[in-house]
Amino acid sequence: MSLRLFVIYCALIGGLCSYLGWAAGLSITSEGFLRAAYKGMFAGTLIGAGLSLLDSIWNGRSLTFTFCHTLVAGILAAVGGIIGGIIGEFLFNIHSSLIIAGWLFTGLLIGVAISTFEILISLNNNQAKIFAISKALKCMAGGAMGGLLGGGIFYSVLLLWVAWFGPGIFWTPAAIGFSVLGICIGLFIGLAQVLIKEAWVRVENGRWQGKELILAKSVSVIGRKEGCEIALFGDRNLAPEHACIRRRDNGFYLADLDSPDGTYLNKKRVREETPLQSDDIIQAGATKLKFLEKTKNRI
170 pLDDT tier (thresholds 50, 70, 90): very low
Query: From CA 137, how far away is CA 72, in angstroms rounded?
Result: 18
Window from 1-15, 28-42, 249-263 with minimum mean pLDDT: 28-42
Residue 46's pLDDT is what? Answer: 92
DSSP-H helix ranges across 59-172:
63-94, 99-120, 126-164
C-beta atoms surrounding 59 within 10 Å? 19
Query: From CA 297, how far away is CA 279, in angstroms rounded?
Result: 16
C-beta atoms surrounding 94 within 10 Å? 9
Mean pLDDT value of segment 167-178 = 61
Residue 176: is its pLDDT beyond 80?
Answer: no
Residue 161: is its pLDDT beyond 70?
Answer: no
Q: Which long-range contacts (CB under 8 A, 24 or more apart) does 28-34 make?
A: 32/89, 33/86, 33/89, 33/90
Window from 142-156, 235-249, 273-287 with minimum mean pLDDT: 142-156
Percent above pLDDT 90 for the chain: 29
Mean pLDDT value of segment 41-68 = 87
pTM: 0.76
Residue 166's pLDDT is what? Answer: 55
Handedness of CA 256, 261, 263, 269 (dihedral sign): positive
Residue 49: is its pLDDT beyond 90?
Answer: yes
Q: Read off the pLDDT of residues 83-137 as tens digits, 9 standing for 90 and up.
A: 988 888 888 888 878 878 888 888 888 888 988 888 888 887 776 777 778 888 8
Residue 147: is its pLDDT beyond 90?
Answer: no
